[in-house]
């Protein structure tokens, strides 16, 4: 199946369905490989990986498919420079950089033909990245798991604002709150050329997180996530004793240092690898409430594509008559 957009043409993929880079969940070859094989964009999250593991995962993906894939690199990472050297040496097809400006990498990667996507969370940053020469933008809104924008402006509003600000000049991937085909359709109608799916792909056998984490994603409803850690690298996570403690501190006006101690004392790794679903950071988006089952990643991709086509077909037909839209075929509009 193919659903063609500017993004699929830019990246050489069949479907505008992107598996969001997620530390631990996609820090191994299995998830990005399965998504790439299914025709979507698989993204290896380099953030928590050591160099040798990153190199091995890239080799495994290449051994499993000749389709394009991406590597996500948070630029604040203390190993970012070495990782960039490795990614250049491996000539990765697509780079998705977050948390920093594109000037550090753009020339060297464009020179070797790598498609450079940059993660942004506001219009100003988006225009700057576009002017620096990136090929496309990932626009992350407030619903997103992981690090939503500190402003928490919703994806619904932010994607349109970025689309206006960039005047449609480069492809956008909308990120935060999608999870199904109706989400993909919504993303395309907001002015994006593809959608990122993060939380939806945590509930796959391929995601590199604990069973307890996956069960928490299945069990949570749309209102069961909360943003904590404002000013400390805020995250959106499923409510648990750790987030309750943070919320108590925030509501009682605790000092930044006190909040930092608790915030830094819990990690994503604790939840993802050790299965500590009470004390760790269960990072997930509001779309966790739309995720109902653990399914192989290739089936998730197929279902999103099929659901998208059904949702598209179910849209009301529109005829423009006498200055007004008619929503039902044949409906007469007075005017
Ligand atoms: C567990 C988890 C880990 C994440 N890690 C990263 C990361 O390493 N780099 C990054 O750019 N974004 C990261 N994100 C954000 C995602 O790339 C994406 O923006 C988000 O998941 C989209 O929202 P959704 O979960 O509602 O689909 C992470 C998100 C989650 C849920």
| DSSP annotation of 283 | B
- Which is nearest to 152 in space by CA: 142, 165, 144? 142
pLDDT of residue 104: 84
Ligand 1: distance of its center to the CA of 191 in Å? 21
Asked whether residue 283 is assigned to any structural domain, the reply reads no
Number of other CB atoms surrounding residue 161 within 10 Å: 17
Nearest to 20 by CA among 147, 188, 127, 106: 147
Instruction: Examine residue 288 and state whether it is found in any structural domain, yes or no.
Output: no
Q: Which atom of ligand 1 is found nearest the CA of 140?
A: 19
**Which residue has a Cα nearest atom 11 of ligand 1?**
98
Residue 21 Cα to ligand 1 middle (Å): 6
Q: Which residues line ligand 1 (CB under 6 A)?
A: 20-23, 25, 45, 47, 72, 74, 98, 119, 140, 143-146, 175-178, 196-199, 283-285, 287
In the chain, the number of structural domains is 2
**Across the strands, what pairs with 276?**
none
How far is C-alpha 268 from the chain's CA centre? Answer: 16
CA of 168 to the centre of ligand 1 (A): 24
Tell me, what's the pLDDT at 335? 32
Same domain flag for 252 and 155? no
Same domain as 169, residue 29:
yes
Cβ-proximal residues to 167 (8 Å cutoff; 6+ apart), any chain: none
- Please indicate, yes or no, if residue 329 is contained in any of the structural domains: no
- 49 and 133 co-located in one domain: yes
Q: Are residues 241 and 306 in the same domain?
A: no
Ligand 1 atom nearest to CA at 46: 8
Q: Residues 96, 237: one domain? A: no
List, in sequence order, the alpha helices (H) in 27-179.
30-37, 51-64, 80-89, 106-111, 123-132, 155-165
Q: How far is the CA of 315 from the centre of ligand 1 (A)?
A: 30
In a domain, 190, yes or no: yes
Give 199's Cβ-side CA count (13 Å radius): 36
Ligand 1 centroid distance, CA of 28 (Å): 15
Nearest to 217 by CA among 107, 120, 146, 293: 293
- CA of residue 236 to ligand 1 center, whole Å: 10
Residues 54 and 203 in one domain: yes
Q: Decide: 191 and 168 in contact? Cβ < 8 Å.
A: yes
In order of 144, 184, 199, 213, the CA distances from 174 in angstroms are: 10, 9, 14, 24
306 and 254, same domain (yes or no):
no
- Domain housing 238: 211-272
Give yes or no: residues 46 and 75 share one domain: yes
Full-model pTM:
0.94
3-state secondary structure of 76: coil
Give pLDDT tens digits along the chain (335 positions): 999 999 999 999 999 999 999 999 999 999 999 999 999 999 999 999 999 999 999 999 999 999 999 999 999 888 999 999 999 999 999 999 998 889 889 999 999 999 999 999 999 999 999 999 999 999 999 999 999 999 999 999 999 999 999 999 999 999 999 999 999 999 999 999 999 999 999 999 999 999 999 999 999 999 999 999 999 999 999 999 999 999 999 999 999 999 999 999 999 999 999 999 999 999 999 999 999 999 999 999 999 999 999 999 999 876 666 666 655 544 443 33
Residue 66 belongs to a domain with what CATH number? 3.20.20.70
CA of 319 to the centre of ligand 1 (A): 39
CB 136 within 8 A of CB 94: no
The best mutation among 146, 173, 195, 304 to test binding of ligand 1, ranked by most ligand atoms within 8 Å of the C-beta, falls on 146
Phi and psi torsions of 55, nearest 5°: -60, -40
Q: Is the CA virtual torsion 228, 142, 218, 68 positive or negative?
A: negative
d(CA 163, CA 302): 27
Relative to the CA of 200, which ligand 1 atom is closest?
27
Q: Are 302 and 3 in contact (CB under 8 A)?
A: no
CB-based contact 198:323 (threshold 8 Å): no
């Amino acid at each position: 199946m193919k659903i063609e957009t500017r993004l699929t043409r830019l990246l050489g993929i069949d479907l505008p369905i992107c598996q969001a880079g997620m530390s631990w969940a996609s820090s191994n070859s299995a998830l990005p490989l399965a998504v790439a094989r299914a025709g979507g964009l698989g993204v290896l999250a380099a953030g928590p990986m050591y160099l040798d593991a990153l190199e091995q995962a890239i080799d495994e993906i290449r051994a499993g498919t000749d389709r394009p894939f991406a590597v996500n690199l948070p630029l604040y990472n203390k190993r970012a420079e070495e990782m960039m050297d490795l990614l250049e040496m491996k000539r990765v097809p697509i780079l998705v950089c977050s948390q920093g400006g594109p000037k550090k990498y753009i020339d060297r990667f464009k020179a070797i033909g790598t498609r450079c996507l940059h993660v942004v969370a506001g219009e100003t940053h988006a225009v700057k990245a576009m002017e620096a020469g990136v090929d496309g933008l990932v626009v992350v809104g407030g619903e997103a798991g992981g690090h939503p924008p500190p402003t928490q402006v919703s994806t619904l509003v932010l994607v349109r604002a970025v689309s206006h600000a960039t005047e449609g000049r480069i492809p956008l991937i909308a990120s935060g709150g999608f999870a199904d085909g109706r989400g993909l359709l919504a993303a395309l109608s907001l002015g994006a050329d593809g959608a990122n799916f993060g939380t939806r792909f945590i509930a796959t056998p391929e995601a590199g997180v604990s069973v307890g984490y996956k069960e928490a994603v299945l069990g949570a409803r749309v209102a069961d996530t909360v943003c904590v850690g404002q000013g400390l690298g805020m995250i959106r996570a499923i409510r648990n004793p750790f987030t309750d403690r943070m919320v108590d501190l925030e509501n009682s006006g605790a000092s930044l240092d006190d909040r930092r101690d608790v915030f830094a004392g819990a990690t994503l790794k604790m939840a993802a690898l050790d299965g500590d679903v009470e004390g760790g950071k269960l990072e997930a988006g509001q779309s966790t409430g739309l995720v109902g089952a653990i399914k192989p990643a290739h089936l998730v991709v197929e279902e999103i594509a099929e659901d998208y086509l059904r949702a598209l077909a179910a849209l009301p037909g529109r005829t423009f008559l006498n200055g007004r839209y008619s929503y039902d075929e044949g409906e007469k509009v007075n005017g």
